């Protein structure tokens, strides 16, 4: 998706990892910031991972002054909060909606959620830090679920997105 017209055809969106300042800049260059904000405010479901979570946050604590924080997830984040590339790691974490079996989370230059507000439901933590939140039709993850063979978080997103789309169609 590179134009506002293409965004009109999207029912749900995955905002992946990458480089959050570049993603922010590309939203501006392609004229997608305002249309995306409008669609998100209208309830378009999202799964955001790593840099996508930074983009969806209410506040980026160490971002560039011109960096976009869409304010959709009620979280304050710090970029690369778990360290640089060489400090990437994996950990088994419990994710509340997934039941008892832990999820193998892959943290690569992961953002740190320093504060989750009242509107963000923490669905997973690593130590004392939230690493996964849900808010309405949105899920935000500090880690990369696509780096494993476990599709449960993707299925959770699809189920939540389908439910949100059914409600909006009614």
Question: Is 114 a domain residue?
Answer: yes
Q: Residue 25 to residues 33, 85, 120: CA-CA distances in angstroms?
A: 9, 22, 26
Question: Is 124 a domain residue?
Answer: yes
Question: Is 101 a domain residue?
Answer: yes
Q: How far apart are CA 71 and CA 92, in angstroms?
A: 29
**What predicted TM-score, i.e. pTM, was given to this entire model?**
0.94
Question: Is 169 a domain residue?
Answer: no
One pLDDT digit (tens) per residue for the chain, 170 residues: 778 889 989 999 999 999 998 999 999 999 999 999 999 999 999 999 999 999 999 999 988 888 899 999 999 999 989 988 888 999 999 999 999 899 999 999 999 999 999 999 999 999 999 999 999 999 999 999 999 999 999 999 999 999 988 887 77
Question: Is 46 a domain residue?
Answer: yes
Count of domains forming the chain: 1
Could you give the residue numbers annotated as active site? Answer: 50, 144, 146
Question: Is 108 a domain residue?
Answer: yes
Question: Is 6 a domain residue?
Answer: no
Per the structure, the complete domain to which residue 26 belongs is given by: 12-164
Nearest to 24 by CA among 52, 44, 62, 59: 52
pLDDT of residue 62: 87
The CATH number assigned to the domain holding 110 equals: 3.40.50.880
């Amino acid at each position: 998706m590179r134009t506002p017209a293409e965004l009109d055809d999207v029912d749900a969106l995955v905002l992946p990892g990458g480089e959050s300042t570049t993603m922010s800049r590309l939203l501006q260059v392609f004229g997608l910031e305002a249309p995306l904000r409008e669609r998100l405010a209208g309830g378009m479901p999202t799964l955001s991972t790593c840099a996508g979570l930074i983009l969806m946050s209410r506040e980026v604590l160490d971002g560039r002054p011109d960096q976009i924080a869409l304010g959709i997830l009620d979280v304050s984040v710090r970029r690369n909060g778990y360290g640089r590339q060489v400090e990437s790691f994996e950990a088994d974490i419990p994710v509340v909606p997934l039941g008892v079996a832990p999820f193998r989370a892959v943290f690569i230059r992961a953002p740190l959620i320093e504060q989750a507000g009242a509107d963000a439901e923490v669905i997973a933590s690593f130590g004392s830090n939230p690493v996964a939140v849900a808010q309405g039709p949105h899920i935000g993850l500090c880690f990369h679920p696509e780096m494993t063979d476990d599709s449960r978080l993707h299925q959770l997103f699809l189920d939540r997105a389908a439910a949100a789309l059914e409600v909006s169609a009614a």
